[in-house]
């Protein structure tokens, strides 16, 4: 049983972060906290993709002259790492847009609390 938890610790981290992120999005009333929840959710998926690249006894995906490249078991899977670079960039862009919108909201309503905001819009 313990083996099940320790042996998959990366995936447990993913699950915990995923739950924290969704909790933040759904239940936090402050819009900044919602945005943080979103960032946590995105990072959990990034960690999942990075975790699935791992192999036992393999090294990082940088070419080492001492390790022959034709034996693929010597290196981690580089594809997921490169894909996640793109995903991280997308995530940063999303956060940029989110904070721009938050500034526009604050300039118009002078609050970032969801309940107050809804009261003011009505």
Measured from the CB of residue 53, what is the shortest distance to another protein in angstroms? 10
Give the nearer residue to another protein in terms of CB position, either 66 or 74.
74
- Per CB under 8 A, residues contacting another protein are 18, 22, 25, 31, 34-35, 38, 41-42, 45, 48-49, 52, 80, 83, 86-87, 90, 93-94, 97-98, 101-102, 104-105, 108-109, 117, 121
SS (H, E, C) the chain: CHHHHHHCHHHHHHHHHHHHHHHHHHHCCEHHHHHHHHHHHHHHHHHHHHHCCCCCCCECCCCCCCCCCCCHHHECCHHHHHHHHHHHHHHHHHHHHHHHHHHHHHHHHCCCEHHHHHHHHC
């Amino acid at each position: 049983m313990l083996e099940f938890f320790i042996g998959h610790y990366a995936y447990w981290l993913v699950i915990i972060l995923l739950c924290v992120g969704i909790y933040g999005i759904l239940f936090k009333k402050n819009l900044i906290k919602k945005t943080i929840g979103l960032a946590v959710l995105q990072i959990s998926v990034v960690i999942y993709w990075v975790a699935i690249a791992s192999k036992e006894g393999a090294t990082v995906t940088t070419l080492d002259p001492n390790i022959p490249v034709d034996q693929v078991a010597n290196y981690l899977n580089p594809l997921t790492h490169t894909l996640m670079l793109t995903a991280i960039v997308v995530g940063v862009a999303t956060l940029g847009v989110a904070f721009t919108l938050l500034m526009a909201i604050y300039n118009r309503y002078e609050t970032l609390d969801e309940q107050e905001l809804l009261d003011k819009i009505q």
